[in-house]
Chains A and B, each alone.
Chain A
């Protein structure tokens, strides 16, 4: 009896393990029906007020419920949306939008210039506690509404990336409805926008149900209902897809992506988020060895980026040469090649810099990063004599130190950008005063200052390309890889992941 119980357990375990191959789930059918899409996410949807909550939250639902004046297409090119046209003054200080006519909010109210102006003012009001406020507070001077379909933004200073900011962050909200509600919390509990889906119900932080808005101004989505549910545990999320219970999952763990891709009727998609995985270097600290450009270059030469992508990232990555992602519409210098793996060159550079025997240093990391990454980096640097102590911190502790220039001398990091213009990462990481910048280069400062008044995207691209090159040559960071979001979905779902930022777009999803 004793023995057979143990045998039974073994049988149970082996069957469970074998289930990856022999799977009974109906994967060629939608989880509910062809009118519904069931999406399982690794993070819950917290606050439905998209102009208050941060990207990490709003990116899953905002584009379903809300619209902006201009929007990004799949590759980040700006297209008219609630506005049909924009006129930008040559001094880049006045932006005049012509609004689309006949747009309705989910509650039936018509969308007018008043609503647009209100949406901006609401974001600027500190009481709203909008995480977007810093993007606009220093820039926007006044918002004027000379006609029902005209909105003029007057800026305090030229901002060449203002249209990007508008496209990324200014969700147009119904003024009358919100003023009537009274409290910001009431809007989060019952949000109203102009987007193709309207809010139906929510189990806070756990599930969200959206229904198609039949009076949507644009092309109506093919799928009637979207159901989001939180499945935080990686293996459970994968199992929910394998069981056919959900149609699409995000954050496929890298070690599972090959297995899912090999499963009949399932598809795995790796979508670039244009977030450079890199090591932030406190280069402007004269007392540190990394103050010397040769040392920074040596740290770049000493690591095998291809091997890191293949092993640590399970092949889901692309070695980077510099900081501006190739998945932005402009600004990336495609002629740059990643630093090759050359430990001898690294040793020689260290010797020239006065560190023939290397030096001791440390590297911060946090749980959002692959655990093996700092270990592998330390092992590569060890080969050229650099001894690295790894300092893991909880995310909240790490972010506090990282935001206040205390993760010195080095930390693992990524830098997402939801407005597709390189101004965001360049400003944050390499311009004096940037929250994550510990690097100072007068040439970069000069070119960056020049971009501020430039609205012509081609010209902006040229300027950022030259910054990209300088940052590469100066080894302003240790550049590792492009990051990707991995999704798994049923193959008969036709869906295209957004490229170059992390936003989810289900407007054009359909069942085959």
Chain B
């Protein structure tokens, strides 16, 4: 097991290096920030001077090695746009992004799984139909759209909730629902499909014949077996939610990481993009590792030695 963990760690480090290298090169290919920073009075010499001050005149390889050297001591450089250390700007946003993402994920699981189970157990009943409607609406309308509708209704019309920004729980409700509904719909459908399959299995029939109560059959025997794909899906949803959060962050003026990265790419703020991507690559490597270990824990058949 420890050998396996070590191997996976090495893999993760290689992945992170690759990801940072790709982003490092791609963002530099997209454009040159000095074009966005200088006024039309600037001559080619002015531009060259600024590039030199910013260290952008050196060959890419040298720039990348320098970046890795600074990375080793935790220095990601100054953001051009904010004139502040890039990582501290990124870290300021991470908390907000995590709160929003995990609340949305919580909504997805807490709503998606029970409805999925109920739909599978009472297939083709009105419960199932309602569940399906919930899923179709959730999956066909983008989070962005829900956000705008909710603001118009709950903030402008009723005045119950703030239109956006951060603060107490009241600021979190609408963005989390807007973001979580889409994933809840997916979780529901997957749980339903997975449960339906498991409920047909021989051992479930056996459990029924044994006369076990339905509650025990569903939650102890069926759901435990049906939840493996749901766990994988939920872990993947974390990525989807982080990506989908961009539009929700924009609509609710939520100070998250997604919108920051989007703007930083637009403004060619290299250092912010690099800091954020490195952080995200690190987190995903960690999450993947955790999920693999979680598999081993839940399904005793999976062994890594």
A315 within 8 Å of B (CB atoms): no
- Assuming the A-B contacts A16-B153, A245-B162, A397-B31, are A134 and B39 also in contact, with contact meaning beta carbons closer than 8 angstroms in the complex? yes
- Asked if residues A396 and B266 are in contact (CB atoms below 8 Å), the reply is yes
* B42: A residues at CB distance < 8 A: 134, 435
* A229: B residues at CB distance < 8 A: 165, 253
B37 within 8 Å of A (CB atoms): yes
- Asked if residues A239 and B163 are in contact (CB atoms below 8 Å), the reply is yes
Q: Whole-angstrom distance between the alpha carbons of A242 and B164 in the complex?
A: 13
- Assuming the A-B contacts A129-B53, A129-B54, A134-B41, are A2 and B159 also in contact, with contact meaning beta carbons closer than 8 angstroms in the complex? no
- Assuming the A-B contacts A24-B158, A126-B49, are A54 and B37 also in contact, with contact meaning beta carbons closer than 8 angstroms in the complex? yes
Q: Whole-angstrom distance between the alpha carbons of A394 and B35 in the complex?
A: 13
- Asked if residues B155 and A400 are in contact (CB atoms below 8 Å), the reply is no
- Asked if residues B266 and A2 are in contact (CB atoms below 8 Å), the reply is no
* A49: B residues at CB distance < 8 A: 83
A46 within 8 Å of B (CB atoms): yes
- Assuming the A-B contacts A16-B152, A137-B46, A206-B255, are A428 and B159 also in contact, with contact meaning beta carbons closer than 8 angstroms in the complex? no
- Asked if residues B84 and A23 are in contact (CB atoms below 8 Å), the reply is no
- Asked if residues B149 and A16 are in contact (CB atoms below 8 Å), the reply is yes
Among A7-15, A170-178, A269-277, the one that faces the other chain is: A7-15
A142 within 8 Å of B (CB atoms): no
Task: Kindly report which residue of chain B lies nearest to residue A429, judged by CB atoms.
Answer: B40
- Asked if residues A15 and B153 are in contact (CB atoms below 8 Å), the reply is yes
The 0/1 profile, CB within 8 Å of B marked 1, for residues 415-429 of chain A is 100000000100111
A107 within 8 Å of B (CB atoms): no
> Smallest distance from the beta carbon of A424 to chain B beta carbons, Å?
7
- Asked if residues B32 and A400 are in contact (CB atoms below 8 Å), the reply is yes
Task: Kindly report which residue of chain B lies nearest to residue A428, judged by CB atoms.
Answer: B40
Among B63-71, B126-134, B210-218, the one that faces the other chain is: B126-134
A335 within 8 Å of B (CB atoms): no
From the candidates A230, A245, A396, name the one contacting B30 in the complex (CB within 8 A): A396
- Assuming the A-B contacts A204-B89, A245-B162, are A25 and B156 also in contact, with contact meaning beta carbons closer than 8 angstroms in the complex? yes
Among A89-97, A184-192, A491-499, the one that faces the other chain is: A184-192
> Smallest distance from the beta carbon of B93 to chain A beta carbons, Å?
9
Q: Whole-angstrom distance between the alpha carbons of A389 and B133 in the complex?
A: 44
* B39: A residues at CB distance < 8 A: 54-55, 131-132, 134-135
- Asked if residues B266 and A204 are in contact (CB atoms below 8 Å), the reply is no
- Asked if residues B41 and A19 are in contact (CB atoms below 8 Å), the reply is no
From the candidates A5, A23, A394, A403, name the one contacting B130 in the complex (CB within 8 A): A5
B38 within 8 Å of A (CB atoms): yes
The 0/1 profile, CB within 8 Å of B marked 1, for residues 230-252 of chain A is 11110110011011110000000
> Smallest distance from the beta carbon of B127 to chain A beta carbons, Å?
9
Task: Kindly report which residue of chain A lies nearest to residue B161, judged by CB atoms.
Answer: A243
Q: Whole-angstrom distance between the alpha carbons of A6 and B132 in the complex?
A: 12
* B24: A residues at CB distance < 8 A: none
Most buried by B among A52, A55, A138, A240: A240
* A22: B residues at CB distance < 8 A: 157
* B156: A residues at CB distance < 8 A: 19, 23-25, 239, 242-243
* B72: A residues at CB distance < 8 A: none
* B89: A residues at CB distance < 8 A: 204-205
A79 within 8 Å of B (CB atoms): no
Q: Which of A398-454 contact B (CB under 8 A)?
A: 399-400, 403-404, 415, 424, 427-429, 434-436
* A12: B residues at CB distance < 8 A: 149, 153
A219 within 8 Å of B (CB atoms): no
Q: Whole-angstrom distance between the alpha carbons of A18 and B152 in the complex?
A: 9
B281 within 8 Å of A (CB atoms): no
- Asked if residues B54 and A434 are in contact (CB atoms below 8 Å), the reply is no
B interface, over-half SS: helix
- Asked if residues A399 and B157 are in contact (CB atoms below 8 Å), the reply is no
* Interface size range of chain B in the complex: 35 or more
* B133: A residues at CB distance < 8 A: 2, 5-6
* B31: A residues at CB distance < 8 A: 396-397, 399-400
- Asked if residues A235 and B148 are in contact (CB atoms below 8 Å), the reply is yes
> Smallest distance from the beta carbon of B31 to chain A beta carbons, Å?
4
> Smallest distance from the beta carbon of B59 to chain A beta carbons, Å?
20
A359 within 8 Å of B (CB atoms): no
The 0/1 profile, CB within 8 Å of A marked 1, for residues 98-129 of chain B is 00000000000000000000000000001001
Most buried by B among A54, A235, A243: A243
- Asked if residues A427 and B41 are in contact (CB atoms below 8 Å), the reply is yes
From the candidates B84, B157, B253, name the one contacting A16 in the complex (CB within 8 A): B157
> Smallest distance from the beta carbon of B124 to chain A beta carbons, Å?
13
- Asked if residues B152 and A239 are in contact (CB atoms below 8 Å), the reply is yes
Q: Whole-angstrom distance between the alpha carbons of A23 and B82 in the complex?
A: 38
* B2: A residues at CB distance < 8 A: none
- Asked if residues A243 and B130 are in contact (CB atoms below 8 Å), the reply is no
- Asked if residues A231 and B253 are in contact (CB atoms below 8 Å), the reply is yes
Q: Whole-angstrom distance between the alpha carbons of A204 and B88 in the complex?
A: 10
A164 within 8 Å of B (CB atoms): no
Q: Whole-angstrom distance between the alpha carbons of A331 and B257 in the complex?
A: 46
> Smallest distance from the beta carbon of B74 to chain A beta carbons, Å?
16
- Asked if residues A1 and B267 are in contact (CB atoms below 8 Å), the reply is no
> Smallest distance from the beta carbon of B145 to chain A beta carbons, Å?
10
* A244: B residues at CB distance < 8 A: 159
A127 within 8 Å of B (CB atoms): yes
> Smallest distance from the beta carbon of B231 to chain A beta carbons, Å?
30
A297 within 8 Å of B (CB atoms): no
Q: Which of B18-53 contact A (CB under 8 A)?
A: 30-32, 35-43, 46, 49-50, 52-53
A47 within 8 Å of B (CB atoms): yes
B296 within 8 Å of A (CB atoms): no
- Asked if residues B157 and A434 are in contact (CB atoms below 8 Å), the reply is no
Q: Whole-angstrom distance between the alpha carbons of A400 and B53 in the complex?
A: 19
Task: Kindly report which residue of chain B lies nearest to residue A183, judged by CB atoms.
Answer: B78
Q: Whole-angstrom distance between the alpha carbons of A189 and B83 in the complex?
A: 8
- Asked if residues A1 and B130 are in contact (CB atoms below 8 Å), the reply is yes
From the candidates A5, A18, A24, A415, name the one contacting B159 in the complex (CB within 8 A): A24
* B43: A residues at CB distance < 8 A: 134, 138
> Smallest distance from the beta carbon of B96 to chain A beta carbons, Å?
9
* A127: B residues at CB distance < 8 A: 53
B81 within 8 Å of A (CB atoms): yes
Q: Whole-angstrom distance between the alpha carbons of A5 and B137 in the complex?
A: 11
Q: Whole-angstrom distance between the alpha carbons of A126 and B53 in the complex?
A: 7
- Asked if residues A245 and B157 are in contact (CB atoms below 8 Å), the reply is no
* A53: B residues at CB distance < 8 A: 83
> Smallest distance from the beta carbon of A178 to chain B beta carbons, Å?
13
Q: A2-B133, A188-B82 are in contact. List 5 more A-B contacts (CB 8 A).
A: A46-B83, A185-B78, A205-B260, A245-B163, A424-B41
The 9 nearest A-B residue pairs measured at CB: A19-B157, A428-B40, A435-B40, A188-B83, A134-B42, A396-B31, A16-B152, A16-B153, A134-B41
Q: List 14 A-B contacts (CB under 8 A).
A: A16-B150, A19-B157, A46-B81, A46-B83, A52-B83, A54-B36, A54-B37, A126-B49, A205-B263, A230-B253, A240-B163, A242-B156, A394-B30, A424-B41
